[in-house]
Amino acid sequence: MIRKIPLAWLQLTREKTRLIVALAGIAFANILMFMQLGFREALFDGNVQFHQSLNGEIVVINPQSDALLSLKTFSQRRLYQVLALEEVESVHPIYIGFTSWRNPQTRKLRSIQVIGFDPDDSIVNLPGVQQNLDKIKQPDVFLFDQGSRQEFGTIAADFLQGKAIETEVGGRTIKIGGLFQLGTSFGADGNLITSDLNFFRLFNQDGRNLGLIDVGLVKLKPGANTKVVLEKLRSSITQKDIRLLSKQEFIDFEKSYWASSTAIGFIFTLGTIMAFVVGTVIVYQILYSEIADHLPEYATLKAIGYTQFYLLIVIFQQALILATLGYMPGFAFAIFQYNIVQKETLLPITMTISRALLVLLLTVLMCCISGAIAIRKLRAADPADIFS
């Protein structure tokens, strides 16, 4: 039995060097799209890890707050007003601030995020926090985020070796009493967790008032409907100095800030578009050259009865073959790059099925658009020119 080899494949493989160059160009465009989309998602995921860890259903913030790194305080009394609703089980104030951290080894200063709350309350679901809550009840004892960048020092490694770690934070000497895992974000390179009392000891010189909080967490009684409770709270609390959000709305609030209120989200989106355009141009040049070099052959096919539609199908087949073959090395190298970036920056950048499918779809679309533009050259394939 004779197996028929598609004409599109024969045309592409006739000049293997050109094919390799084409695949390299498509793979390069794929890598660019993967990296831009990966960084964009890491931007969002990294900045909402704390939000996702909150052990509560409703969040209260100041309406003038833009994001976690620029929270405005509000009166703690507003948070306790929420307790008037029978569906509410408890409320918990959370304090967040940025101060300086002195690397114990290099003595260099670096900004670090500090999170404070009552250690008698279990309000965050982060690895390492629950088992260390008793430790942060002690004066000037903090938990260090082992997902922090290495510029803060070899804190995690030294602590696991049993070394006592003391350093200066905000000009105050503190001790590391344990480790937890949160990770870096575009807003914070490192994190500390401590009690509310230790937080105010640290930020006392900045004039922080114990009655002013950054985030209020509301836990509902079992069976309570978050949406219904939110509607009741919004109708009963008429003051405009607080904003009530569900946990998911709080996550979306943070993502929206980074997507629309900063240049970072726009830059990564623009980078993806530029990678798509670059790939389109590369594939177009390859297909156009392929058609131009084989114009007499296409004219001959027309002369012996093949239709223009058949030739169009051949071109689009070539485009799909290029898309498929070029995608695979781009996908593999992108995973390799993700691993390097995650190791060096500690950002939560990983390959996801949805992103892999999106880039595959964009690659196919990219090659089809290139094919649609390149087929205009086929109109020049006139059988009369062959026999004149």
Between 360 and 316, where is the model more confident? Answer: 360
| Closest to 216 in 3D by CA, of 190, 237, 188 | 237
In tens, the pLDDT along 198-213 reads: 999 998 866 677 789 9
The pLDDT value given to residue 341: 87
Instruction: Look up the pTM and report it.
Output: 0.77
Over the chain, what is the mean pLDDT?
A: 87
Measured at the alpha carbon of residue 22, what is the angle toward residues 20 and 27, in degrees to the nearest 5? Answer: 95
- The residue extents of the domains of the chain are 7-46+263-385, 63-241
pLDDT of residue 4: 59
Residue 320 is predicted with a pLDDT of: 86
pLDDT at 206: 66
pLDDT score of 98 more than 50: yes
69-93 pLDDT, tens digit per residue, is: 889 999 999 999 898 889 999 999 9
pLDDT of 2 reads 43
Q: Express each pLDDT in 249-293 by its tens digit.
A: 999 999 888 888 777 778 888 888 888 898 888 888 888 887 777
Residue 92's contacts (CB-CB under 8 Å, 6 or more residues apart) are 56, 117, 118, 121, 123, 216, 217, 218, 219
DSSP conformation letters of 350-377: ---HHHHHHHHHHHHHHHHHHHHHHGGG
User: What is the pLDDT averaged over residues 237-243?
Assistant: 82
Average pLDDT, stretch 168-183? Answer: 93
Contacts of 71 (CB under 8 A, 6+ apart): 61, 62, 65, 96, 214, 215
Of the listed ranges 3-12, 38-47, 165-174, 375-384, the one predicted with least confidence: 375-384
Structure token digits, residue 285? 């040049």
- What average pLDDT does this structure show over 338-343? 88
Going by their DSSP bridges, the two strands 141-145 and 172-180 should be labelled as parallel
pLDDT score, position 1: 40
**What pLDDT, on the 0 to 100 scale, is given for residue 382?**
62
CA distance 51 to 54: 6
Mean pLDDT of 27-50: 88
Tokens 């709270």, residue?
233
C-alpha 216/C-alpha 60 separation (Å) is: 5
Residue 112 has pLDDT above 90, yes or no: yes
Question: Residue 307: left if φ>0, alpha if ψ -120 to 50, beta else—which one?
Answer: beta
Q: Considering just the CA atoms, what is the radius of gyration of the chain in Å?
A: 29
Torsion of CA 269, 271, 276, 278, to 10 degrees: 160
